[in-house]
Homo-oligomer: A and B are copies of this chain.
Amino acid sequence: MVASLRLPSLAYLFTSPSAALGRRSEAVFRRGRHPRPPLAAGFSAQSTAAVPPATEERAGKQKSRGEDRAVTPRSQDFNAWYLDVIEHAELADYGPVRGTMVIRPYGYAIWEAIQDYLNVKFKETGHSNMYFPQFIPYSFIEKEASHVEGFSPELALVTIGGGKELEEKLVVRPTSETIVNHMFTQWIHSHRDLPLMINQWANVTRWEMRTKPFIRTLEFLWQEGHTAHATPEEAEKEALQMIDVYTKFAYEQAAIPVIAGRKSRVERFAGADRTYTIEAMMGDRKALQAGTSHNLGQNFSRAFGTQFTDENGNRQHVWQTSWAISTRFVGGIIMTHGDDAGLMLPPRLAPIQVIVIPIYKKADERSGVISAATSVKEALQSAGVKVKLDDSEQRTPGWKFNFWEMKGVPLRIEIGPRDVSSGSVVVSRRDIPGKEGKVFGISMEPAVLEAYVKDKLDEIQSSLLQRVKIFRDRNIVDVSSYDELKEAISQGKWARGPWSASDQDELRVKEETGATIRCFPFDQPEDVKTCLMTGNPASEVAIFAKSY
């Protein structure tokens, strides 16, 4: 499958906005203090000496488009680096409407890998996929008080259909709790109809003011699970089960050591009794909320009258959950693992796990090298490895090294004339730069090579997780006073400390430090605590951090 990916070649992003679309501007996706050369194009990487040659057309164009441009070093400007990687690794592009994003094939393939894994897990845990319309009558949104408050400012509204002004405005779904409850009300009658457990993969729209590719866009893709239960205990169990599915996914597939926990009242979902979250530490140490699971209690069932007859013949409102992960997670992967050479993908989510690059100078070396490279590719492919052979003639091996490093491919296999003679290959790890990550003389013999490659992919998968875990733990500071908290936040770290103060105190911390409570983590220390803000007893620690 992956081998047949035909990727559009390097794009020229940031071409001048079309005349008809004045509102597509530089400012659309905030870039901090590092203005992008507006017409820059082409590609080059930091980590190696070879600079990719431009094709004739490009070289010609570039004269009028600006200089060939390197990726901003991560340490210099994290945000500029992030946007550069998205451009150079061909993950996404800007849509014509402010704040929208085109997900390009390579970025979409990462999303597909996420879908493939989660879709199986959702079905294993008893959920069925289905599809709800995206147009929701405006009146629905108004039915649940805190929901309307949370979402009203972000709505896109359809007011004209088929050439006519509509009697009632339609909301383009920002999330589907309201329409789901409207339908559940028609499907749920008896306790025998419960639990009702469904999921949908869909697009959603939120009119965000500050947008950033993958992290916060006007339209994004996600899955949203919705369930209804007969008891509050079942709903709570479900909400916890799903945050657990997300947590395992983050650790085992994405190699992201998220911290799972409960949101504060201030931070929870508009309409939920309790929101569980997985919080990930990005490379700049800001937190990313990477997935949430909500115990909705009876808030929506009361607003929509979603009732069932229990075993004693009494009418009761159902207890509900909803939970979601979105294309934002792709942004999380970029910002967790990437480095100055570009993207670095965990092998289990990588659309291409191994790139094979033939190396030859003389024409008479070509056929031997290409044929060996092809055999290696086919052997790995039939062993279930996602492998691609880059045998294009227009690019030098050095250019290809950079290009596939930029794309974050975990392993590179190099094959030259000498390797062909010795029946061996060179294998380089994306996660260990330079010579240290390079092993010579791995046998081409299919069984040996397959075992070696699979082993290395596993090693990279654990190694990425391990590395990020160390980074995370080094950047979480245990604090016992507000001063310590402020100090930790000002150093760009996460602060973890006992908390039992008021919502007002929480908002004050946000105002004064820019940090919010990311969660009360499930993993709690055992000893008794004193609230870092008030000195009162506190039964839990909370984690504070600045976030996306």
Tell me the A residues contacting B by CB distance below 8 Å: 1, 4-9, 11-13, 15, 18, 20-21, 23, 55, 57-58, 61, 93, 95-97, 100-105, 107-109, 111-112, 120, 123-124, 126-137, 139-140, 152-163, 167-170, 172, 179, 182-183, 186-190, 192-193, 195-198, 202-203, 205, 207, 209, 218-219, 221, 309, 394
Contact = CB atoms under 8 A, between A and B. Distances in A.
Contact of A103 (B13, B105, B123, B130): B130
A44 B158 CA distance: 40
B169 A218 contact: no
B131 A108 contact: yes
A135 B102 CA distance: 11
A309 B157 contact: no
A38 B128 CA distance: 29
A352 B4 CA distance: 31
Contact of A179 (B8, B9, B95, B218): B95
Nearest to A14: B186
Contact of A162 (B58, B103, B207): B207
Nearest to A19: B139
A394 B192 contact: yes
A341 to B, nearest CB: 23
A193 B218 CA distance: 29
Nearest to A135: B97
27 contacts: A1-B120, A1-B123, A4-B123, A4-B126, A5-B128, A6-B195, A7-B128, A18-B182, A55-B192, A57-B190, A58-B190, A61-B189, A95-B132, A95-B133, A95-B179, A96-B137, A102-B132, A103-B130, A103-B131, A105-B130, A133-B218, A152-B163, A153-B162, A155-B160, A157-B159, A159-B160, A161-B207
Contact of A156 (B109, B112, B158, B186): B158
Contacts of A108: 128-131
In the A-B complex, list the 5 residue pairs whose CB atoms are closest, starting with the nearest. A162-B207, A105-B128, A100-B133, A95-B133, A157-B160
Given A6-B128, A161-B156, A133 B189 contact: no
Given A109-B128, A158-B157, A158-B158, A97 B189 contact: no
A232 to B, nearest CB: 20
Contacts of A107: 130
Nearest to A143: B20
A508 B131 CA distance: 41
A58 B189 CA distance: 8
B158 A20 contact: no
A186 B11 contact: yes
A23 B170 CA distance: 13
Most buried by B among A7, A95, A169: A95
Nearest to A305: B18
Contacts of A219: 133-135
A12 B133 contact: no
A96 B129 contact: no
Most buried by B among A58, A128, A309: A128
Given A5-B128, A123-B4, A203 B134 contact: yes
Most buried by B among A12, A161, A163: A161
A109 B129 contact: yes
B159 A155 contact: no
Given A131-B103, A167-B23, A8 B187 contact: yes
A106 to B, nearest CB: 8
A9 B192 contact: yes
Most buried by B among A96, A129, A169, A197: A96
A145 B58 CA distance: 32
Most buried by B among A162, A195, A219: A162
Nearest to A120: B1
Given A93-B183, A96-B179, A162-B155, A221 B104 contact: no
A38 to B, nearest CB: 14
B126 A6 contact: yes
Contacts of A140: 20, 96
Given A102-B130, A155-B160, A159-B160, 4 more contacts: A4-B126, A5-B123, A21-B137, A95-B179
A179 to B, nearest CB: 7
Contact of A11 (B9, B57, B139, B187): B187
Nearest to A207: B162
A8 B196 contact: yes
A277 to B, nearest CB: 25
A100 B135 contact: yes
A450 to B, nearest CB: 23
